[in-house]
Amino acid sequence: MAYDRYIAICKPLHYEIIMNRRACIQMLACAWAAGVMYSAMHTGNTFSLPFCHSNTINQFFCEVPQLLKLSCSDTYRRELAALVFSLCLVLGCFVFTVVSYVQIFTAVWRIPSEQGHQKAFSTCIPHLIVVSLLLSTGSISYLKPVSDSSSPLDLLAAVLYSVVPPLMNPVIYSMRNREIQAALRKLLYKTLHLE
């Protein structure tokens, strides 16, 4: 999304040439390959561990940090390898997104009209909100040390990074639609006047 927005705003006349079918397939393949490598690493590590503790996890999902707590072997090296790989993946995505948006905002500030600023920002801000929410809650959940007892904050972080961003995507992106804005105003007007 960041690269797509960068091309659309910074190089609009070249958009069709740069963001062609081949480029989209390459980006999709890279995202899938990173996801498959990441999940294969965690799956391989998990299935090679001996488990001897209770099989009860105090979490909504079968998270890797929670599974590592159940192992009766030393998991330090596995945790370190997973952490390093995760950090490389997350930092790579984060740096790519930041660099794209720095270039976008630099180009937007050069646009002379206020309407041009608003249009450019309205396409970028929703994506930044969703990415920030996903990265911050995911980082909190995965980068904190694993404790023996799960806290309510662990459960809240798991819900925030796994449920809220996909839930917010259609809401945030559809709020740019005038018909949905009008329907929302109408609903709010009715709700406020009924009370």
The domains of the chain are located at 2-162
Question: CB pairs under 8 A, 24+ apart, for 14-21?
Answer: none
Longest dimension (CA), the chain: 66
Burial 6-26 (b: 16+ CB within 10 A, else e): bbbbbeeeeeeeebeeeeeee
Per-residue confidence (pLDDT) for residue 180, from 0 to 100? 76
Predicted TM-score (pTM) above 0.75? no
DSSP letter assigned to residue 1: -
State how far Cα 158 lies from the chain centre.
13
- Average pLDDT (136-156) is 70
- Could you give the CA distance from residue 34 to residue 16 in angstroms, rounded to a whole number? 26
Instruction: State yes or no: pLDDT of 148 exceeds 60.
Output: no
- Whether the Cβ atoms of residue 38 and residue 89 lie closer than 8 Å to each other: yes
The percentage of residues in the chain with a pLDDT greater than 90, rounded to a whole number, is: 6
